[in-house]
Structure 1
Amino acid sequence: MTTKYLLAISGNDIFSGGGLYADLSTYSANGIHGFVAVTCLTAMTENGFEVFGTDQTVFGHQLNSLKNVPFSGIKLGLLPNVAVAELALDFVKAHKDIPIVLDPVLVCKESHDVEVSALRDELLKFFPYATIITPNLVEAELLAQRPIKTLEDMKAVAKHLHDLGATNVVIKGGNRFSQEVALDVFYDGVDYTVLEYPILETNNVGAGCTFASSIASQLVNGQPVKEAVRLSKDFVYEAIRHSDQYGVKQHYEKD
């Protein structure tokens, strides 16, 4: 069997729950060899959870080192600033014939000091090259610049993001509308599919990264987009359900 190579352009989560750790673990679980171009480091400081973008020159060298690897797909996660995003976009343009999954992490849940407006404009440039984008509700609101209060709003925003150039959109709704059911909406430009899963009590982080990485893995393994989304929801749900519930929340709450 030919080895498949999947690139994660993503950040280093100091608590190892999300980012490149979730990406590589998911690739491995799907029988794929993973590569990483690291976009940032993170750490807890006196100011809370902070993101430190990789030096632009260093990040460029990382991508240049990988230019001849025969990747079967690319998954993009946290792009901390415009400079890093521009380099990532150039790399994506050079690989536009393979599956591209964009997880547009505009706002870290722990910090809101990202250059949101400038990054939004930059992320929109990825849309024509992305096979699918996977924003959560906050990110979808920021990208579309309109609020989401209901399931119908989710559908309308998914269509708006499609109109902005995204071929396929899945908005991760979580439990905003219900404490019993997590709702996600998938839109392919024609049909809406609502995915419902029971809420799981957990402190785990990295579900969004794992979801996007699983979609990328499924696409590389030959699944159509809608089926890749469904299989990835199953994968994430089961991963959380069988986790040890360690979670990193306790680290944030110390001191």
Structure 2
Amino acid sequence: MTAYNILAISGNDIFSGGGLYADLNTYTINGLRGFVAVTCLTAVTNQGFEVFATNDQVFKNQLNSLKTVDFSGIKLGLLPNLAVATLALDFVKKNQDIPVVLDPVLVCKENHDIEVSVLRDELLKFFPYVTIITPNLTEAELLTEKSIKTLDDLKEAAKILHNLGAKTVVVKGGERLDSDQALDVFYDGEKFEVLSYPLLKENNVGAGCTFASAIASQLVLGAPVFQAVKAAKNFVYQAILHSDQYGVNQHYAED
């Protein structure tokens, strides 16, 4: 059996629900060998939920350490500042022949806003070099500079993001469009697909990270892009459905 190496360029979630923890768990469940380059640490302080970017040189050294690893895919998560984002982009440009999934994190569930104005422009530079981007509704609003209130708005946002250079887009609508359904819109420049699952409001921290890393995993395993998105959507739904308050998936833990 082929052992595939897959990289997560993502941050540390102090609560271990999202970020690199979600990525590595997802890779393992999919039978892949996961690696990680850590972009930041997080902590809850008197200032609230804070993000501490990895030192530029340390992050560069991490990526240089991995340059001889034969990766079959990459998932990009939280890039906390311009310096880290620039180094990550350089790395991606050197690996354009493999699937790359960009989760353009501009806001966190903990309501911490990452530096938006500069980082938004930097994230747009990734679009031509990645296979698919997976913004949530708020991130799609920030990237497109458009308000999203309806399913048609969600489709229009996906189209704008494609026109900005993204080859394929899935915009996660979440609960803001439908109180009972988690609606996502997929767009590849030719057709729209709406994916809908019953909305699960409990234990969903890390859902976006897991979704993106599940897509990356499926792409590495050879799935076409839309099939990878569909499989990832189901994967996240099942993971939340069977999880406890700490995000531990009881279904997979018992297998």
Establish whether TM, by shorter chain, passes 0.5.
yes
Letter aligned with residue 156 of structure 1: E
Distance (Å, rounded) in 2 between the aligned partners of 1:247 and 1:99: 27
The alpha-carbon distance between structure 1 residues 201 and 145, as it changes in their structure 2 partners (threshold 3 A), is closer
Taking the TM superposition and a 5 Å limit, the aligned residue runs for 1:76-225 are 76-225=76-225
Distance (Å, rounded) in 2 between the aligned partners of 1:177 and 1:154: 9
Shift of 1:204: 3.1
| 1:251 alignment partner in structure 2 | none
Q: Once superposed, which parts of structure 1, at least 4 consecutive aligned residues long, lie more than 4 Å away?
A: none
The alpha-carbon distance between structure 1 residues 13 and 112, as it changes in their structure 2 partners (threshold 3 A), is closer
Taking the TM superposition and a 5 Å limit, the aligned residue runs for 1:238-253 are 238-246=238-246
Shift of 1:246: 3.7
Distance (Å, rounded) in 1 between the aligned partners of 2:196 and 2:46: 39
CA contact (8 A) 2:49 2:112 kept: no
Distance (Å, rounded) in 2 between the aligned partners of 1:202 and 1:113: 22
CA contact (8 A) 1:170 1:187 kept: yes
Distance (Å, rounded) in 1 between the aligned partners of 2:205 and 2:69: 30
Q: What TM-score do you get using the length of structure 2 for normalisation?
A: 0.95
Distance (Å, rounded) in 2 between the aligned partners of 1:122 and 1:67: 23
Distance (Å, rounded) in 2 between the aligned partners of 1:206 and 1:214: 12
Secondary structure at 1:57's aligned position in 2?
Answer: helix
Distance (Å, rounded) in 2 between the aligned partners of 1:187 and 1:140: 13
The answer to whether residue 233 in structure 2 is matched with residue 233 in structure 1 is yes
| 2:251 alignment partner in structure 1 | none
Cα deviation, 1:89-140, whole Å, max 9, x if unaligned, reads: 0000000110000000012232445220100000000000110000000000
CA contact (8 A) 1:202 1:247 kept: no
- How large is the RMSD of aligned CA atoms in angstroms? 1.2
Identity %: 72
CA contact (8 A) 2:38 2:54 kept: yes
Distance (Å, rounded) in 1 between the aligned partners of 2:232 and 2:158: 19
Distance (Å, rounded) in 2 between the aligned partners of 1:132 and 1:36: 19
CA contact (8 A) 2:9 2:39 kept: yes
Q: 101-110 or 33-42, which moves further after superposition?
A: 101-110
CA contact (8 A) 1:14 1:42 kept: yes
Q: 79-88 or 236-245, which moves further after superposition?
A: 236-245
Distance (Å, rounded) in 2 between the aligned partners of 1:66 and 1:246: 31
Shift of 1:12: 0.3
Shift of 1:5: 0.3
Distance (Å, rounded) in 2 between the aligned partners of 1:207 and 1:215: 12
Gaps of 5+ in 1: 249-255
Distance (Å, rounded) in 1 between the aligned partners of 2:190 and 2:35: 34
Letter aligned with residue 12 of structure 2: N
